[in-house]
Amino acid sequence: MIYTDQKLRIYNSVSNEKQTFTPIQQGHVGMYVCGPTVYSKVHLGNVRTFMSFDMIYRYLLHLGYKVRYVRNITDVGHLVDDADQGEDKIGKRARLERLEPMEIVQRYTVDFHDILNQFNLLPPSIEPTATGHIIEQIQLIQKVIDNGYGYQSNGSVYFDVTKYNQDYDYSELSHRKLEDMISNSRKLDGQSDKRGEQDFAMWKRAEPDHLMRWPSPWGDGFPGWHTECITMSTKYLGEKFDLHGGGMDLKFPHHECEIAQGKACTAHAPVNYWLHANLLTLNGKKMAKSTGNNILPGEILAGTNPLLSKAYSASVTRFLMMQTHYRSIMDFSDQAMLAAEKGYHRLMSSVQDLQNINPGTLSTLDIPAWREDCYRAMDDDFNTPILISHLFEGVNFINMLKDKSAWLTSADLNHFSRTMSVLIYDVLGLGKSSAVSSTHKDKLEGTINLLIEMRNAARDDKNYLLSDQIREGLTALDILLEDTKDGTRFKY
């Protein structure tokens, strides 16, 4: 197994430093990622987060770990203001569209899966839903109450943050001081069911007109958003597991509340390593539907958003996202996509050329050192930008091999080719360049060769304007001409 030879270091949000990854059970990894709330189409920032953890999942698999990857579907309990007030997001959408809440859930769950499939994300091992685990959530809430950290109030159940903070550190993940949070909070009015403003709902009483409701020991209601993930993660990964991931915006209060409920039940932290993917901006600004500075993943593939000059493939989009470290803010723009498209096609074209290179009797390139650099990048908290820079060093190697200014033995050539392929396709998850169907391939190549003959004739007649027009026209179609001593060749 490769993992025995690698020293993977992961940035842990609890310690705010990189730590050597040591799984609880050797050779096995339990990994949980907070999934979407399925009340609308998945947005590009969500895709970036899930793509980041797909890359992490892929690398762990590549290292030889047996990974149980759990990613949930939130289909109840996520209130509009992400706190304990307002309407359930799914219930609100159901009212607006005059549909059953589960119709909304089904529609946008299908959209979520369709988009992630197009961007080549691997499915998780288990994809539990919040509504499918109501019984388990009630059991967890009751355990929190029994241990003295929860209380019932007017049909709802709240987590007592002040009581918990006397025994544990409520801000161990977000590193905020509870005293500061309390002083910056509004005072509770006399109508509030909470004892303290920082207390959060584990179970909410359902008003008479609330669409989504279940019976419980405390009356009809629905689970709190913060209770869902800790219930499902520990059900499938155990009371203590290896990795928990999500977007940076979930660190507080969502993930902090997960830790608190886990500790309130078991007296120990439920997760060893917390990972957070950073935000996505568009043209240097926060994405927002209200300002028009917004784009959906499907609009990238179709080219229907006015902020884009053309349509882009899912692989080009993924290549762009892999060029930014998952913990860094990434800015998405049409200009960045155009540059990524050129880089992606250059990389893919070189990998295709590698198949036609013949081995030599000796190696003049240090492939083991290059490979070590590639893995050192990924072992450094999944540093995909550095990995990509090493892959383009590989592109330079391929050009040297084509020009016969460098050689590789058969063993080194196979090792080099296999490493390039595994890192590009299996780890980064990039798809191969779109291939022309075999039905039309011969006709297309015949047309290109005809244009090459016309260009050669134009050059013989010193009609350089026409010659350049043919070359530039083909280049615009991503068909590149190469003039060699043996004649003109083309490649996609």
pLDDT digits over 414-469, tens only?
Answer: 999 999 999 999 999 999 765 443 445 566 878 888 889 899 888 888 898 888 88
If you search the block for the tokens 């499907």, which residue do you land on? 298
281-427 matches 2-277 in CATH topology: no
Judged against a pLDDT cut of 60, whether residue 12 lies above it is answered with yes
Give the start-to-end residue ranges of the domains of the chain: 2-277, 281-427, 438-491
Each residue's pLDDT tens digit, 402-411 = 999 999 999 9
Task: Indicate the pTM of the whole model.
Answer: 0.87
C-alpha span between 258 and 225 (Å, rounded): 10
pLDDT (average), residues 316-322: 98
Judged against a pLDDT cut of 70, whether residue 206 lies above it is answered with yes
Judged against a pLDDT cut of 80, whether residue 65 lies above it is answered with yes
As a whole number, the mean pLDDT across the chain is 92
Give the number of other CB atoms < 10 A from CB of residue 118: 18
Nearest of 127, 128, 129, 116 to residue 55 by alpha carbon: 116
The three-class DSSP label of residue 273 is strand
Name the CATH code of domain 2-277 (choices 3.40.50.150, 3.40.50.12500, 3.30.360.10, 3.40.50.620).
3.40.50.620
Sign of CA dihedral 246, 251, 252, 255: positive
Predicted local distance difference test score (pLDDT) of residue 436: 40
Domain made up of 281-427: CATH architecture: Orthogonal Bundle (1.10)
Pick the range with the lowest mean pLDDT from 161-175, 209-223, 444-458: 444-458
Predicted local distance difference test score (pLDDT) of residue 433: 63
Structure tokens that stand for 369 in this block? 């050192």
Predicted local distance difference test score (pLDDT) of residue 441: 55
